[in-house]
Amino acid sequence: MVPQDMFQTRSHQPFAHGERKNAVYFNFPYYSVDETHITFPATYHVENLAEVKALSTTYAFYNLNHKSEGGTLVVTREFGMGGIAFQQKDYEDLRKFYSAVSTGDAEPLVLTTAK
């Protein structure tokens, strides 16, 4: 099993707590795209690519795609946050969104060896 979130290992679910007493503010809206190419030895092949469902809200989106090209796996991760300020009442929705993103990022890649 190979983790797909190689570049997300230092990030964590920022809204892990169940309750929030204050509003949530981001400094600015942002968009990021990470494309990772992983080349495996010829004796390995991808057995399982977990399908991660794209997420979209009125304020953010997340998408994770996999594409196998011969002995290379291409993983593309898109994340966009358009919202800046969230009231306390919106915290649960924001928390659910980030929890789903963390779950999608943590999906492992399963490899097997050729016999």
Domain ranges for the chain: 2-6+21-113
For 27-64, the pLDDT digits (tens) are 999 999 999 888 888 888 777 777 889 999 999 999 99
pTM summary value: 0.81
The fold of 2-6+21-113 is Jelly Rolls (2.60.120)
Q: How far apart are CA 56 and CA 18, in angstroms?
A: 22
- Phi, psi values for residue 100, rounded to 5°: -65, -35
Q: Could you give the 3-state DSSP secondary structure of residue 71?
A: coil
Arithmetic mean of pLDDT over the chain: 85
Residue 76: pLDDT above 70? yes
The number of beta carbons lying within 10 Å of the beta carbon of residue 108 is 12
User: By C-alpha distance, which of 111, 115, 33, 32 is closest to 72?
Assistant: 111
Residue 84 has φ and ψ, to the nearest 5°, of -115, -45
